[in-house]
Chains A and B, each alone.
Chain A
Amino acid sequence: MGFLIGRVAAVGITAAVLLYTVPPLIRTQSWTMLGILAAVTAAVSYLYLTKRHVPAKYLVPGTIFLLTFQVIPVLYTFTVAFTNYGDGHRGSKQEAVGAIERESLVEIPGAPDYALTVAARGGEVVFLLVDRETKAVQVGTAEGLSPVDDAEVSLTGKVLGAPGYEILPAGERDGEVQALAVPTARGAIKSSGLSRAIEFHANRKYDPACDCISDSGTGQRWTADDEVGYFVAADGTNLIQGWKVNVGLANFTRVVSDPTISGHFLGVLIWNFAFALGSVALSFALGMVCALALHHPRMRGTRIYRVLLILPYAMPSFAMLLVWRDMFNTDFGLINRMLGTDIDWMGSPTGARLSLLLVNLWLGFPYMFLVTTGALQAIPRELTEASSIDGASAWQGFRRVTLPLLLVALSPLLIASFAYNFNNFNAVRFITNGGPYPVDNNLVGKTDLLITYTYRLAFEGGSGQFGFASAISVFIFAIVATISAIAFRRTRAQEEVYS
């Protein structure tokens, strides 16, 4: 029965996903994706409708989620790292050309002011144009202007009706209205909104023959450079509208060769390690001491203590980080007021670093307390009792029996905690934002982690450079993955000793 429900649920969810995603995929003509979707759906349906392949039934959902939420984002980051994707280079070349041409449209001085009515003639979208001065009514099509007889015109210049024309309601066939340019001797008449039309002249045009933009007014010319994704003039200046291109390894080499990045890398990395290790060690130590104290058989009122200790963990950390930042304020902060001091906590490197560690300890220890409490329940009391009967002191019992057993259980969590704190963007960003900065160096602060430092480089220094940010993410990923792999290997060795 349970098996049946599981099968119905799995096939049902798959069908729902299919129904949900097929219409937009067809509309956007994403045939490759549609194919993949169909194949996956077919495979999943087959799997849950047959009685064979039992292990796969359990493994497939997890595998799909692993692919969706872990593997694909990592691969996507890798692919973005090889492009210049970012502000100024988000779209395609075609979009950039369109924007440049639209920007160069200038209203022809002295041209008539046309009141516009959008109409259809035999299925084709046309402009009914009323010259506001002469009241002459004309029809504008892709071929040009021609006069219209017998049109009924309102006081504001709107055409209310004309034989052979169907007046279109606002918003109807918007794409065609936008695209229609009525050619004239001097340029073209285009719609400006729905009630006005203006005679324009485009100063800049894209010429596919030379792959360049030329300005008919000044004669200047910008040639497309597909290495950088800009139209570049002979003097090296470029038009501001760019497009996305592949840049190969340029983002990676920039990380290594740019002195503003590689020059500070080591210093930041050392503090980054200190911060991550310090945060984990301190919060684990405090959390464990609290857990051990409450684990003692003679301890009374453990429930209320536990609730109190978990409180910091229950509060939203974003808000708490901002509250802590304000508590450290020199003149208005709670800490200086309570102590009656006038210390600029965030002003000195050591002060800022210790403050950060303190805040992170406060935020982190309840979690360590929780997991240690759980792990302690699993260690039989007989073991410590046996060691005390054998004459071990309390400290020796803890050091030789409890702590090793705790570490076997908690090592994976400590490694995860380290990886999290290694990239603990929020704490640094909200409390110090990397500061204090040395007076002669504005690029890297004394409390910057790799992640906050690179965030500033990639997103605040000018514009969002997603390609570059992805390249740095790949480096950070490599560092954290290496450390985690080493740590897990060591943990496994330890487990073999104690189990």
Chain B
Amino acid sequence: MRSIVAVAALGLLLGAAACGGDTTPQTQPSKDKGSGKLEIWADPKRTAALKPFAEQFGKENGVQVEVKEIAENLQQTFVTASQQGSGPDVVVGAHDWIGNLVQNSAIDPVNLTAAQKSGFEASALKAVTFNGQVYGAPYAMENLALIRNTELVPTAPASIEDLVKAGQDLKAAGKVSEILCLQVGAQGDAYHIYPFFASAGGSLFGSTSSGDPDPKNVTVGSADSVKAFTKLKELGEQGSGALKTSIAAENSIASFAGKKCAFLVSGPWATKDIKAGGVKYDISAVPGFAGGKKATPFLGVQAFFVASKAKSKALAQEFVANYVTNKDVAKALYDAEPRPPALTAAIAVVKTSDPDLEKFLAAGKDGFPMPAIPEMAAIWGPFGQAEVAVVKGEDPSTAAAAAQTAILATLKK
């Protein structure tokens, strides 16, 4: 066994040498001496925004800072590299990674003072708290909202029923070709349908005594969730036709920007394309069903994490806890991509120049932080397929039961 691994490693070394790439096996963190170097991994959008600030941090502290762009699968790449000891000191990612990163012992808690904690929006801080510890420094938040074409629909609909009615009228008048652009796709999309599902009374997990999602209690197949799926069926292809599997991630924003639909359910990332399409728009909270619960969108938070196997961990803690919690950094990251900052002070700075921001924040006021527990990964696929089934007009109770079975089967392991 051991020799096989050794030979395998030798093979990899030979391979690396043969390719001439920079896949040099990294050294273990040395025990006695820090390298005086901070390495940060981020996705392409954030890399450019981070660079100037990282360099400034390097100058102030007399260390070398490198921001590395990871184009694909940042989370998996980080976990794997971290395990091998070739990972970064700091990684930038979404708060719902926390469960997986913690179970792999890949990140450490971030020590923020009470004063620093009070500077964040409460929901953002709650999102990065896992097992009672703050695991990341949040810097941006995002949630879904209803974006509407104000030339076609001057006032925001009060309920989903009003929305569908308005969409149907516009479609009948030939002004649009679709009632609503809410991406479903052939595989379903739990993230985008969740506000509707929650408004109709559906839920994913029960909650523990502390109010966190309880992975032991999956409620996708519960009676309330079946009712919610029934409501979705009524909006589906055999019903009013507001939800369609042909509307998918790759065409929903483009269709709205191309004025093929008057309503779009999407997030802050959509505004750039909409502006480019020259559509006059306004943003409001996703409406709920008349007489139903609130249509709570998922709240996503982007955060900085400190790697457990950081080579310069004290430096990494300094960067995450005391440097990026600064409002200028939050503003620069906002300029790179318009997602509302998580620092209350930064929101105040940004909102004067961007009216959309406050509207998105208002739409996410009741947002439900996306569960960070690792079990959440088992939800997406089966839930999406149940969504597709009911949108196509299949029986809601069968679809919900099938999703419940599939989720439990994968969680059981």
Contact = CB atoms under 8 A, between A and B. Distances in A.
Interface of A: 16-17, 20-21, 24-25, 27-28, 30, 32-33, 36-37, 40, 64, 67-69, 72-73, 75-76, 79, 87-88, 90-91, 95-96, 98-99, 102-103, 105, 107, 113, 118, 169-178, 191-196, 198, 240-242, 260, 326, 329-333, 344, 346-347, 432-433, 435-437, 439-443, 456-457, 460-465
B311 A461 contact: no
B9 A30 contact: yes
A169 to B, nearest CB: 5
A199 B317 CA distance: 16
B385 interface: yes
Contact of B17 (A20, A67, A98): A20
List the 4 shortest-distance A-B pairs measured between CB atoms, nearest first.
A174-B34, A461-B410, A193-B318, A171-B36
B34 A172 contact: yes
Given A90-B83, A195-B322, A442-B406, A460 B377 contact: yes
A171 B315 contact: yes
Contacts of A171: 34-38, 61-63, 312, 314-315
B102 A347 contact: no
22 contacts: A21-B17, A73-B8, A75-B4, A87-B104, A91-B104, A98-B105, A99-B102, A107-B111, A113-B113, A169-B36, A171-B312, A174-B314, A194-B314, A240-B374, A326-B251, A329-B251, A333-B246, A432-B186, A439-B389, A443-B409, A460-B377, A462-B413
A106 B334 CA distance: 32
Given A28-B25, A172-B34, A443-B409, A72 B395 contact: no
B125 interface: no
B244 interface: yes
B10 A240 contact: no
Nearest to B390: A439
B186 A346 contact: yes
B7 interface: yes
Contacts of A433: 186-187
Interface residues of B, number: 100
A66 to B, nearest CB: 10
A95 B105 contact: yes
A254 B100 CA distance: 23
A64 B24 CA distance: 20
B76 interface: yes
Contacts of B13: 17, 20-21, 25, 33, 37
A102 B33 CA distance: 21
Given A28-B27, A95-B308, A170 B63 contact: yes
A439 B399 contact: yes
B83 A91 contact: yes
Interface of B: 1-18, 24-38, 61-63, 76, 79, 83, 99-100, 102-105, 108-109, 111, 113, 131, 133, 177-178, 186-187, 244-248, 250-251, 255, 308, 311-315, 317-322, 374-375, 377-378, 380-382, 385-386, 388-389, 392, 394-395, 398-399, 401-403, 405-406, 409-411, 413
Contacts of B315: 170-171, 174, 193-194
Nearest to B309: A95
Nearest to B84: A90
Contact of A68 (B15, B246, B381, B395): B15
B30 A175 contact: yes
Given A75-B4, A174-B314, A331 B247 contact: yes
Given A240-B374, A330-B245, A439-B399, A174 B311 contact: yes
A40 B103 CA distance: 39
B105 A91 contact: yes
Contacts of A40: 10
Contact of A260 (B7, B245, B409): B409
B321 A192 contact: yes
B318 A170 contact: yes
Given A175-B29, A464-B76, A439 B398 contact: yes
Nearest to A22: B13
A27 B61 CA distance: 28
B18 to A, nearest CB: 8
B374 A329 contact: no
Interface centre among A90, A113, A457 (most CB of B within 10 A): A90
Contact of A170 (B62, B311, B385, B403): B62
B331 to A, nearest CB: 22
A177 B108 contact: no
A79 B24 CA distance: 24
Nearest to B116: A196
Contact of A76 (B8, B79, B111, B401): B8
Contacts of B36: 169-172, 174
Contacts of B411: 462
Interface centre among B2, B11, B131, B389 (most CB of A within 10 A): B11
Given A24-B25, A174-B33, 19 more contacts: A17-B13, A28-B25, A33-B10, A36-B6, A37-B10, A37-B13, A76-B8, A79-B1, A170-B63, A171-B61, A171-B315, A174-B313, A192-B317, A193-B314, A241-B105, A344-B246, A433-B186, A461-B406, A461-B409
A173 B6 CA distance: 31
B105 A435 contact: no
Nearest to B396: A439
Contacts of A87: 79, 100, 103-104, 374
A88 B318 contact: no
A118 B250 CA distance: 52
